[in-house]
Amino acid sequence: MASMAEQPCYTLINTSNDFEQPTELQLRTDLEKGDNRTKIDALKKVIQMILNGEKMSSLLMTVIRFVMPMQDHMVKKLLLVFWEVVPKYHPDGKLMQEMILVCDAYRKDLQHPNEFIRGSTLRFLCKLKEPELVEPLMPSIRQCLEHRHSYVRRNAVLAIYTIYRNFDFLIPDAPELIANFLEGEQDMSCKRNAFMMLIHADQERALNYLSSCIDQVTSFGDILQLVIVELIYKVCHANPGERARFIRCIYNLLNSNSPAVRYEAAGTLVTLSSAPTAIRAAASCYIELIVKESDNNVKLIVLDRLMALKEVPAHEKVLQELVMDILRVLAAPDLEVRKKTLNLALELVNSRSIEEMVLVLKKEVVKTNNVEHEDTGKYRQLLVRNLHQCSVKFPDVASTIIPVLMEFLGDTNELAAADVLVFVREAVQRFDHLRPLVIGRLLDVFPSIKAMKIHRAALWILGEYCSTTEDIQSVMTLIRQALGDIPIVDDEMKKAAGEVKEDEMQSVGSVQRLVTADGTYATQSAFSSVSTKKQEDRPPLRKDMMEGDFFIGAALATTLTKLALKYITLTTDKKRQNGFVAEAMLIMATIIHLGKSGLSEKPITDDDVDRIATCLRVLAERSELMHEIFNQKCRQSLSIMLAAKIEEDKATQEAADKKVVKVHADDPINFTQLINRADMGPGENLFDVTLSQALGMSTKKDSDPIGSSKLSKVTQLTGFSDPVYAEAYVNVNQYDIVLDVLVVNQTADTLQNLTVELATLGDLKLVEKPQPLLLAPHDFCNIKANIKVASTENGIIFGNIVYDVSGAASDRNCVVLNDIHIDIMDYIVPAACTDTEFRQMWAEFEWENKVTVNTNITGLSDYLNHVMKCTNMKCLTPEKALSGECGFMAANMYARSIFGEDVLANLSIEKAIHMGKEAPVQGHVRIRAKSQGMALSMGDKINLSQKKSGKPMAA
């Protein structure tokens, strides 16, 4: 006799926590004498109690006598659920006599004039596992195939299919019966069910039917077309010789009206044929789906399929011809879709399509100018980066890209403008012929630049690459316009005094007497009486320095020094030389004066003063060494950095492009006529693979034959001396956790109503309550519990085991279980992001967890590798920056959860040299995340892994 947990049950009914169990006598009274409403409520309660483990066998005849004769549709529906869950066997395994009466009631319902009752009864028969109950009903089920209503006919087909699959001796001629039914049927849902049955029961008949109507497939409904695609895939996978027979049908289905059919047909076509025409047709179908479907999730899924196609070298060449079609997807408003599309297009673009792609991207750039949306800035930044990469891959198009991108420098989105300048800096260094164009455009847009960081970078480029006297004079004019009248302090004092007294200028440091609200006198210095209105009218560079940011002043001093030294070499006229140098020195001096005057919100820093003073000294002395450092060494440093970056990108690309040799020189040649049929198939059956993935079953060979990694996930829940021993294996499958609990009865008593009661803490939700069990002396059983996970936080599952001892009069016994801690590492995957994105997220994330390093690992690199291994995080700091030994290490790490949550970490560790080689690493790890739970969970993980290491661990 199967236990309650092992019995088949298809209907799950949620029981509320405040559900009060009525007595059996009360239920019997309600079922016998109550009105319709009372009987319905009583029947619902009976079903819930049976599902919770109560037997209720004494109520069986009551239900048969007083409830079954009722014609109410709600009662009929509830009775079907009741007959599904009620125990149908005596404890000795024999079928209950009452079931004969129930069987007669089924037969009457199958002949009922109402098509809903007939159809729902047929659906119920699909769930019956007792051939004794089904056998008398077979003639009635066969008759339902000829019913006038399609709802009855399609459920009759399903019932025949499940009965044939479970008890083929009851209806041995089922395939022939359904094949004849299919020939004369017109309703699409009925045809679909019949065809699906033939696929699984008699594939040859299904193929014969498909061959007979292969030209009409495009006129079928989408539900039938989907089943046809599945059949063709399975047949061609098992017997590749059939491909030529059905591939034309798949081609035709690419033009189906249903997007689901087109998607499945394209996927099947790719697996059946690798011919360029087939790949082009499938890829074009995918692109059309992405463009026409409004659901972003669908767009992302289909984009993934296109990216998977690109991974095959032979298919990549075909996709390169479709780059312009792929770029049509940019019309989608979602940023993630656009990002994936641009990445795919950039990988596929070649010298033939680059010009067209640049034109499309330029149009997209123009479109973003007048649209204000929360993602517009990010999209603009994405376009800038892609245009940058296009010009790096294909230098010929750089001259057409630069004028468009220069417009971004005056943009309010600082990140997009910063990306443009990085691109411009690289272009102006690498392509000499573009320098006049770049400098000319930069001089034109310089007045429109708003952000201080952009000013700083633009000044550096102008100072480094202006090479004619006209350009140098133009830069000096722009700088004077961006600073306003100089000396700055005198000009500010005049403005401040003008606010106090308009007709005459006040002296420096003069004060004005003011009367406060309480009648007393107060003094106000002209230094602090700076009007808000005047602040708004200030030129941009002066505005930045008045706000206390004098780093722009130091950058300006360096630019002026470079320009002055170049001007000296370009001009022979001493008067003009001295005039230019004097003007540059005056600007530097006035910046220092402003920083020391107290007019600015913050005083100038000592570093900035030193930098500006050094520049003043260089211009005063004008030595050859300084000239070389300012005008040659700086550019050399940039070229070295860019060369290193190109090398790094090249190495990354080579690693990504490293293709595995599929066919070796000494491999045997495969002749189609001689090859074994099994070896011709294109690998695993995709339907089986996707089903096993959905069920959480690994399709790969187990790399751990002795199962030691599985044993590490077993948690002991009770002690060995407890009357009931329990342990659980925690199996994590993406968003689900399956607890497989082994329960052992260690007593000599029979344990009744043994229930594992579980509860959760955190973002975990128990899907269903484990069923009560009957456990014999020294017997054991397995109980499974499903738990849904909503976010990446440390979840805890706790509970107890309660049971009754057979024959004992005492209360229920209880064994408290140990807590099960869910490891968040199952949801964390390493991820990569740029330095700018890391800094932006670091500033935005509000939750920080600082973990002090407490370990006995002695090597800095060893500790970093150990933390990366324990937390599944990826190190963003390049290997070159981490190499060498200096007693100190700082590294940034990044990871992402499968729920899309980001987590950042900054590792700052040191090893004091004076403490010896065996001294442990010291320092701290700072973790930042958007949610508190994520930051705390990751910190706990690092703390636990530090303490677990018993000896220094090498990575």
* pLDDT for 642 beyond 80: no
Are 64 and 92 spatial neighbours (Cβ–Cβ below 8 Å)? no
Whether the per-residue pLDDT at 526 is higher than 50: the answer is no
* Residue 955: per-residue pLDDT: 35
What is the enclosing helix (H) or strand (E) of 855?
Answer: none
Q: Residue 516 pLDDT > 60, yes or no? A: no
The tokens 């099960």 sit on which residue? 820
Residue 832 backbone phi and psi in degrees, to 5:
-125, 150
Contact 833, 894 (CB under 8 A): yes
- Both structure tokens of 543: 């505005």
Cβ–Cβ < 8 Å for 220, 261? no
Give CA–CA dist 479/488, Å, rounded.
13
pLDDT band at residue 654, thresholds of 50, 70 and 90? low
pTM of the model: 0.64
Rounded to an integer, what distance in angstroms lies between the CA atom of residue 832 and that of residue 174? 57
Distance of CA 169 to the CA centre of its chain: 50
Could you please report the per-residue DSSP string of 455-466?
Answer: HHHHHHHHHHH-
pLDDT of residue 17: 54
DSSP 479: H
> Band of the pLDDT at 411, cuts 50, 70, 90?
low
C-alpha span between 548 and 333 (Å, rounded): 40
Tokens of 920: 């442990």
- Residue 2 confidence (pLDDT) above 60: no
682 pLDDT higher than 60: no
* pLDDT of 399 over the 80 cut: no
Q: Given this model, what pLDDT does residue 672 score? A: 53
CA distance 873 to 893: 6
Contact status, residue 940 vs residue 925, Cβ threshold 8 Å: no
Cα separations in angstroms, 314 against 38, 311, 937 = 70, 9, 45
User: Is it the case that residue 785 has pLDDT exceeding 80?
Assistant: yes
Read off the pLDDT band of 10 (50, 70, 90).
low
More reliable by pLDDT, 784 or 211? 784
* Confidence at residue 213, expressed as pLDDT on a 0 to 100 scale: 76
Query: Which pLDDT value is given to residue 688?
Result: 61
The dihedral through the CA atoms of 473, 479, 485, 490 has a sign that is: negative
Q: Are strands 714-716 and 724-733 parallel, antiparallel or unpaired?
A: antiparallel
Q: Using alpha carbons, list the distances in angstroms from residue 188 to 196, 226, 227, 591, 928.
A: 12, 12, 12, 83, 55
* Contact predicate 251/269, CB 8 Å: yes
The predicted pLDDT at position 427 comes to 74
| pLDDT at 511 (0 to 100) | 37
Return the axis-axis angle of helices 150-166 and 115-125, rounded to nearest 10°.
20
Question: 68-82, 260-274, 540-554, 555-569: which range is least confident on average?
Answer: 540-554
pLDDT at 897 over 60: yes
For 744-796, the DSSP string reads: EE-SSSPEEEEEEEEEEESSEEE-SPPPPEEE-TT-EEEEEEEEEE-SSS--E
The confidence score (pLDDT) of residue 330 equals 80
Residue 392 clears pLDDT 70, i.e. is over it: yes
On whether the CB atoms of residues 616 and 585 are closer than 8 A, the answer is yes
**Residue 488 pLDDT:** 66
- Average the pLDDT over 932-955 and give the result: 67
> Which band of pLDDT confidence, cut at 50, 70 and 90, is reported for residue 160?
confident
**To 10 degrees, what angle do helices 174-184 and 150-166 make?**
160
The predicted pLDDT at position 410 comes to 65
What backbone phi and psi angles, to 5 degrees, belong to 929? -150, 165
What are the b/e assignments for 112-121, b being 16+ CB within 10 Å? Answer: beebebbbbb
pLDDT computed for residue 524 by the predictor: 46
Going by pLDDT thresholds of 50, 70 and 90, the confidence category of residue 523 is very low
Is the pLDDT confidence value at 506 over 50?
Answer: no
- pLDDT for position 667: 67
Give exposure, 336-351, as e/b (b: 16+ Cβ within 10 Å): ebbebbbebbbebbee
CA atoms within 13 A on the CB side of 578: 3
How many secondary structure helices (H) and strands (E) does the chain include?
Answer: 42, 18
Q: What is the pLDDT of residues 445-504, one digit of tens each?
A: 777 777 777 777 787 777 777 777 777 778 778 777 777 767 766 666 666 666 544 443
- pLDDT reported for residue 25: 80
pLDDT, tens only, 215-248: 777 777 777 778 888 877 777 777 777 777 777 8
* 513 or 161: which leads in pLDDT: 161
What does the mean pLDDT of the chain come to? Answer: 75
Confidence of residue 677 (pLDDT cuts 50, 70, 90): very low
How far is Cα 186 from Cα 166, in angstroms, rounded to an integer?
Answer: 28
At 66-95, the pLDDT tens digits run 877 787 778 888 888 887 777 777 777 677
Confidence of residue 678 (pLDDT cuts 50, 70, 90): very low
